Chains A and B, each alone.
Chain A
Amino acid sequence: MICYEVRKNSYYDSVTLMLISKEVKNIEGVKDVMVGMGTDLNKELSNNLGLGSEKLDELSPNDFFISADVVDEAIMEQVVERVNGLLKEKKSSAGSDYRPVTIKSALEMMPEANMAVVSIAGQYAEDEVSRLLDNDLHVMLFSDNVSVEAELRLKQKAVEKGLLMMGPDCGTAIINGVPLAFANVVKKGPIGIVGASGTGTQEVSTLIDKLGSGLSQVIGTGGRDLKTEIGGLMMLQGFEALMRDESTEVIVLISKPPSPEVAEKILSKVSETKKPVVVDFIGGDIEAIKAAGAYPCLTLEDAAHKAVALAKGDTPVDFTGFSLSDDEVESIVNKKVAALKPEQKYFRGLFTGGTLADEAMKMLGQSFGGIYSNIPLSHEYAIENLTTLTGHVCLDLGEDQFTVGRPHPMIDPSTRSDRFKTDISDDVAVVLVDVVLGYGSHENPAKEVADAIHEVNKKLDNNVIYVASITGTEGDPQDLKASQSALEAEGIIVMPSNAQAVRLVQKIMDQLNKKGA
């Protein structure tokens, strides 16, 4: 039977409710359940799950509902009780401080506020951010689903007022040493980053920390900043600020390839500073970067190495190898490949970080055949059917098709754990994964990966090779060493960076092809 519980004018954020939905689904006697606000999307999702009703159709985005397919009413009572308990738990863990309802009253409480982090549903973001900028606050706009037109209006306003407007869809920033949203705890130091790609920026900042250097500021721009429509407004604004900042000695710029006229604008600005600038336009035009007097990069790891070398006053050199010796790498490859069966031919990349997935595909190229993806390098490799995968596949599990009604896999790793079950079969030779630590991320993503792989291996006849890298630092709230141990205990090879993990995969596939030839 389908039962409903509706509470008018009770607002909770979507991530909280998605996590609660998942929790109450485990109650015995519950076939399916949806806990959410009465948004159009949630109504549609309820209909798709067979939980829809006219009752829900009347709700507004301010109304809270539970709709559940349960065996009897007593189970529904249990569901409601559990949801209430979880909501109370979430509320008390977030503190019992007074919460103002308007920006005006928040500013009365904290008149010296200088930054706002905004993560409300995208369609409401422009109004609120515009008001924040009017009040001279810098903004990190985490929300996605904000139109390009709104982004342009907000960024123009920010530039006019000399403010930061990081986003929309900005996941990472570290301002004055404070990680905002999804960011790692890194040492303070002489390197400043402006990044248009969240996990790319996290990878570079954590590697800089691991190499013994540190960060002055990490400014996010949101992924669309370097497209023609926005014109790199925030990258230019951030770059100019780092040019002036005395604590910043080396500047790193990270973005997927910008549109050509925006690249030209940014590089022309780059040529104005005496500070060394490292540019990773992941897969972009290297010659143009050199011509601007900046240092181009081969990978995110290479960007970190070059920035650290420059900060030390050394001449940067390309980093294209491994931290392990060649013999050690060869021994791992030989041992692992020898244990593969003839039918094991395929590569699977299952990523929570989009830029890391993109970097993996760009590095592997066509070396062992085309890689199918939901973010393909060319359209002939776009995956149409996500339920049955064939050939070599690399997925960005943070993309919309995997996150409708579910939190991002960096928050809730079960999205990826479910894909492990369906996407790793006996014809797969090697699986590549990322594990992203830091604030914002799940409390123990490495254990979730290890546990999920443990379960998958039980069902497989063959020994699949697993390769991982951890984007994280010793200072992160998750334990870096324990994360690595948890993965290694499950037989997963942990490499020091995404680039090195990809290179190991490349060697494994090369060896496999030699063996097959």
Chain B
Amino acid sequence: MNRIDRLFSQDLKVINIGLESFSKDLKKQEVSVVQLDWKPRAGGNAKLSSLLDRLKSNK
């Protein structure tokens, strides 16, 4: 079954990454939601982040 067709037949279960007000709105509607405690990777340092990527791909 196509994944979108499957989605349409399921209860929506949401991971929210970013604005917390979106989580709040979903909770008000009794929709299951997990709010991620997101932070920019490697402190927002692009160079460090790409180094991490390289390390990961070398694993």
A: which residues have CB within 8 A of B? 9, 11, 13, 15-16, 39, 60-62, 90, 93-95, 97, 99-103, 106-107, 109-110, 112-121, 124, 127-128, 132, 136-138, 142-143, 161-164, 175-176, 178-181, 217, 237-238, 241, 244-245, 247, 439-440, 477
Contacts and interface: CB of A to CB of B under 8 A. Distances in A.
A258 to B, nearest CB: 22
Interface string B20-37: 111111111101101111
A62 B45 CA distance: 9
Nearest to B9: A176
B22 to A, nearest CB: 5
Interface in B4-59: 4-8, 10-29, 31-32, 34-41, 43-45, 49
A101 B17 CA distance: 10
A127 B41 contact: yes
Given A95-B23, A100-B37, A120 B44 contact: no
B44 A39 contact: yes
Contacts of B19: 13, 15-16, 119, 142
A325 B18 CA distance: 47
A97 B3 CA distance: 29
Interface of B: 2-8, 10-29, 31-32, 34-41, 43-45, 49
Contact of A95 (B8, B27, B37): B27
B24 to A, nearest CB: 5
B34 to A, nearest CB: 5
B41 A178 contact: no
Nearest to A118: B17
Contact of A176 (B8, B17, B25, B28): B8
B38 A11 contact: yes
Contact of B16 (A102, A117, A138, A245): A117
Given A110-B32, A124-B40, 19 more contacts: A13-B19, A16-B19, A94-B20, A94-B21, A94-B24, A99-B34, A99-B37, A100-B36, A101-B37, A110-B15, A114-B12, A117-B15, A117-B22, A124-B41, A175-B8, A241-B4, A241-B8, A440-B21, A440-B22
Contact of B10 (A97, A116, A127, A176): A176
A113 B34 contact: yes
A164 B10 CA distance: 15
Contacts of B8: 175-176, 217, 241, 245, 247
B7 A118 contact: no
Nearest to A245: B8
| Residue of B5, B23, B35, B44 ringed by the most chain A CB atoms within 10 A | B44
Contact of B2 (A90, A93, A162): A162
Contacts of B17: 103, 116-120, 128
B14 A116 contact: yes
A144 to B, nearest CB: 12
Contact of B18 (A112, A120, A237, A238): A120
Contacts of A107: 15
A60 B42 CA distance: 10
A110 B34 contact: yes
A116 B37 CA distance: 14
Contacts of A237: 4
Contacts of B35: 94-95, 97, 99
A317 B4 CA distance: 33
A324 B25 CA distance: 35
29 contacts: A13-B20, A15-B19, A16-B20, A60-B40, A60-B44, A62-B40, A62-B44, A94-B24, A95-B35, A101-B39, A106-B34, A113-B34, A114-B12, A116-B16, A117-B14, A118-B18, A124-B44, A127-B49, A128-B38, A161-B3, A163-B3, A175-B7, A175-B8, A176-B7, A176-B12, A178-B26, A241-B4, A244-B2, A440-B21
